[in-house]
Amino acid sequence: MPERPSEFQLIAELFAPLAEAPGAFRLKDDAAVIAPPAGQELVITTDALVEGVHFLAEDPPLFVAKKALRVNLSDLAAKGAEAAGYLLALSLPSGVGMEWLTAFADGLRQDQREFNISLYGGDTTSTPGPLTIALTAFGFVPKGTMIRRAGAKPGDLVFVSGTIGDADAGLALLRQPQDTSHAVRDFLVHRYREPRPRLSLGHTLRGLATAALDVSDGLLADLGHIAETSGVRIEVDAHRLPLSAALQAVWGSDTQARIKAATAGDDYEIAFTVAPSCVEEVMRAARDSAAITEIGRVVSGGEAVLMDLEGSEIAVPKSGYTHF
Amino acid sequence: MPERPSEFQLIAELFAPLAEAPGAFRLKDDAAVIAPPAGQELVITTDALVEGVHFLAEDPPLFVAKKALRVNLSDLAAKGAEAAGYLLALSLPSGVGMEWLTAFADGLRQDQREFNISLYGGDTTSTPGPLTIALTAFGFVPKGTMIRRAGAKPGDLVFVSGTIGDADAGLALLRQPQDTSHAVRDFLVHRYREPRPRLSLGHTLRGLATAALDVSDGLLADLGHIAETSGVRIEVDAHRLPLSAALQAVWGSDTQARIKAATAGDDYEIAFTVAPSCVEEVMRAARDSAAITEIGRVVSGGEAVLMDLEGSEIAVPKSGYTHF
């Protein structure tokens, strides 16, 4: 079992260099200072990842770090926020040594560069249980412009970014290797391990989307959240769901595959609703940020449902995935 | 083993009612909005508590909740911040049922009233390991007024609020009952379970203290942090350490007891330094918030040390306590 570094060593060598923002004081204080730019306010979110629940013990630490960060950045993206920084509470079992932690910190560093963010604070503690990473991320929006879940209206159209189902298929391949090409496997595993927070799409949607969220529990389950808070019904056309070529190579593209994709977790794409009058502007604005696909419509009523080509509801056994 | 509620039930029944601030959206969104009052900025901190490491499995959940909140509020207090809210990432083992969680939420509710704060967001996940509570708390200060660790200068005097060593003695009594009076036991156990963040003292110290932090690792260890970041030496007079009557009833008040108190963890008092010209103002201002005691001085050099009546350094085997 590798020897765990001291808390002092851990902070001084690995984490203090990540606390680049002036208000983070290189982690040499009890708290950090955050000053939103003039006219802006904070958007803040927290998500915890537990080994064996949210990631696998054998997942490379570089990707564990990125995933912990990105699932939070994905929330900020869906809300239209400019990502700014994060705080990190790490609970470490005794078996985690300097090698693992160095690679973990490397993952954070890479993503800090990529998303232009800084570590602002943290806490490290020991645990007799599994490695647990609680991360709180924050960003900024002009006052009053955070995109809410509530706000979808009958008549709005429903969109999703990227493709869905990939991460779930990638996880399945990690759990039980299948006879697929390397390219297919690599693409899907990558989608599971390294979700891509759609930050620039999110900024684009500010003032245009009537509601948005990131797809983490499963597309239908998450659209169900918009339906509930907005007091509307959302109809998703199964045949319009964007499925990657890699996913189709593994799952096919029939109705069963589409049900699976619409209820698979960990997509970290943005699902959003737009008034018809804004659709053209959204399409134009999204051109430079991420592929988006129109997948359905908002009508009056409740819940989110999957529809077939004939316009009938498809029975879905379970709308999403929960880590609880 | 009690049945665990669903995540939906948990959020709807226990946690949504705690999300009282408008920007928390009753937890019905992916993120919260925080708008600092005009001219103010955020002070933010995170601390995780792990069952078996930071609290005992048999600790009442009401107190576990308060402790998780208060250790974070204590950081805000020491920085001079007005507490405003918190986010909570809970990792729950399967054995934790509705009864435990209801009492836990009661503790949060009581403290929200007491400290005038709101829950702003959270995440609940399952864990195969021990109950883990990661809490991120934030507050506000007028721009540029957060009290830092860096700032102590030779010539400054050193103060601490309240009494020290109590929590450690309380924990010892919980672990191994001793023959003491009920009153002594109750006082010390209470000090362990229900630390009191010195928020109003902290506000008072803004603009007056040259450096401050909350005493969590042990008085000497924490003053060592001020010494290091300020580039000074801090001399603490052992005979001036404020020891409660209850602590003296258990530990006595000789040098050994004083070494123990100065290196015991979990005090959650504020240690701070003040220029001689401001001492009178500090004493006057602190009158309404918390008892404070002058315990030493800042000189040039490095580290924090304990001194005897003759002015010689007392050898201290270990300056503090670590949960890592």
Question: How far, in Å, are B224, B256, B271 from residue B262 at the CA level?
Answer: 12, 10, 12
Answer yes or no: do A246 and A120 share one domain: no
A87, A91, A134: residue with CB nearest B44 = A87
- Residue A177 pLDDT: 86
SS3 A272: strand
Instruction: Tell me the shortest Cα–Cα distance from A123 to chain B, in angstroms.
Output: 5
B105-129: per-residue pLDDT in tens?
A: 999 999 999 999 999 999 999 999 9
Q: What are phi and psi of A32, to 5 degrees?
A: -110, 160
A98-157: per-residue pLDDT in tens?
A: 999 999 999 999 999 999 999 999 999 999 999 999 999 999 999 999 999 999 999 999
A307 or B8: whose pLDDT is higher?
A307
Q: Where are the beta strands (DSSP E) in chain B?
A: 32-34, 40-50, 82-92, 118-126, 132-142, 157-161, 209-214, 233-237, 270-274, 292-299, 304-307, 313-314
- Is there a domain that residue A170 lies in? yes
B89, B114, B142 - which closes a domain: B142
Q: How confident is the model over A224-230, as a mean pLDDT?
A: 97
B220-242: per-residue pLDDT in tens?
A: 999 999 999 999 999 999 999 99
Residue of B96, B136, B210, B226 to mutate, testing the A interface (most A Cβ within 10 Å of its Cβ): B136
- Is there a domain that residue A1 lies in? no
Answer yes or no: do A105 and A178 share one domain: no
- Token pair for A197: 């927070």
Answer yes or no: do A166 and A134 share one domain: no
- Is there a domain that residue B315 lies in? no
Chain B neighbors of A6, CB-CB under 8 A: 324
CB contact under 8 A, A53 and B130: no
- Is there a domain that residue B17 lies in? yes
Supply the range of the domain harboring residue B178: 157-309
Q: Is the pLDDT of residue B1 over 60?
A: no
- Is there a domain that residue A324 lies in? no
Q: Is the pLDDT of residue A214 over 60?
A: yes
What is the residue type of B165? G
Cα(A217)–Cα(B282) distance, integer angstroms: 53
Helices (H) and strands (E) in chain A, counts: 10, 12
- Token pair for A63: 């990707």
Residues 6 or more apart whose Cβ sits within 8 Å of residue A1: A94, A95, A97
Taking the Cβ of residue B122 and every Cβ of chain A, the question of whether any pair is shorter than 8 Å is answered with yes
Torsion angle of the four alpha carbons A121, A123, A124, A126, in this order, in degrees rounded to the nearest 10: -170
What is the residue type of A204? T
- Is there a domain that residue A54 lies in? yes
- Token pair for B17: 């009612």
- Residue B265 pLDDT: 85
CB contact under 8 A, B31 and A79: yes
Give percent of chain B with pLDDT exceeding 90: 88
- Residue B73 pLDDT: 98
SS3 B251: helix
Nearest residue on chain A to B31, alpha-carbon basis: A45
Strands of the sheet containing A118-126, edge to edge, are: A118-126, A82-92, A132-142, A40-50, B32-34
Neighbours of A311 (CB within 10 A): 8
The H or E element spanning position A72 is helix A61-78
CB contact under 8 A, A46 and B134: yes
Instruction: Tell me the shortest Cα–Cα distance from B247 to chain A, in angstroms.
Output: 27
Answer yes or no: do A129 and A168 share one domain: no
- Residue A1 pLDDT: 58
Taking the Cβ of residue B120 and every Cβ of chain A, the question of whether any pair is shorter than 8 Å is answered with yes
Taking the Cβ of residue A26 and every Cβ of chain B, the question of whether any pair is shorter than 8 Å is answered with no
Q: Which of residues 181-240 of A touch B (CB under 8 A)?
A: 213-214, 225, 229
CATH number of domain containing A26: 3.30.1330.10
Answer yes or no: do B132 and B164 share one domain: no
CB contact under 8 A, B125 and A89: no
- Residue A107 pLDDT: 98
B252-303: per-residue pLDDT in tens?
A: 999 999 999 999 989 999 999 999 999 999 999 898 888 999 999 999 999 9
B25 or B322: whose pLDDT is higher?
B25
Q: Environment class of residue A287 by beta-carbon count within 10 Å: exposed (0-12), middle (13-18) or buried (19+)? A: exposed
Taking the Cβ of residue A33 and every Cβ of chain B, the question of whether any pair is shorter than 8 Å is answered with yes
CB contact under 8 A, A149 and B79: no
Strands A270-274 and B32-34 turn out to be unpaired
A228 band by pLDDT with thresholds 50, 70 and 90:
very high
B6 or A281: whose pLDDT is higher?
A281
Residues 6 or more apart whose Cβ sits within 8 Å of residue B222: B213, B214, B215, B216, B271, B320
CB contact under 8 A, B136 and A132: no
CATH number of domain containing B273: 3.90.650.10
Residues 6 or more apart whose Cβ sits within 8 Å of residue B110: B62, B66
A320 band by pLDDT with thresholds 50, 70 and 90:
confident
- Residue A265 pLDDT: 85
Cα–Cα nearest to A49, from A210, A221, A268: A268
Domain count, chain A: 2
Give percent of chain A with pLDDT exceeding 90: 88
Neighbours of B270 (CB within 10 A): 31
- Residue B56 pLDDT: 85
- Token pair for A278: 């804004």
Taking the Cβ of residue B72 and every Cβ of chain A, the question of whether any pair is shorter than 8 Å is answered with no
A324 band by pLDDT with thresholds 50, 70 and 90:
low
Instruction: Tell me the shortest Cα–Cα distance from A245 to chain B, in angstroms.
Output: 30
Task: Provide the number of CB pairs (under 8 Å) joining chain A to chain B.
Answer: 214
B74-91: per-residue pLDDT in tens?
A: 999 999 999 999 999 999
Strands A270-274 and A157-161 turn out to be antiparallel
Answer yes or no: do A286 and A236 share one domain: yes
Mean pLDDT rounded to a whole number for chain B: 95
- Is there a domain that residue B96 lies in? yes
Helices (H) and strands (E) in chain B, counts: 10, 12
- Is there a domain that residue B295 lies in? yes
Give percent of chain A with pLDDT exceeding 70: 98
- Token pair for B2: 């009690």
Cα(B251)–Cα(B111) distance, integer angstroms: 31
Predicted ipTM > 0.85: yes
A178-192: per-residue pLDDT in tens?
A: 889 999 999 999 999
Strands B304-307 and B233-237 turn out to be parallel
B77, B112, B142 - which closes a domain: B142
A9-34: per-residue pLDDT in tens?
A: 899 999 999 999 999 999 999 999 99
Q: Is the pLDDT of residue B320 over 80?
A: no
- Residue B323 pLDDT: 67
CB contact under 8 A, B136 and A87: yes
Predicted TM-score (pTM) of the model is 0.94
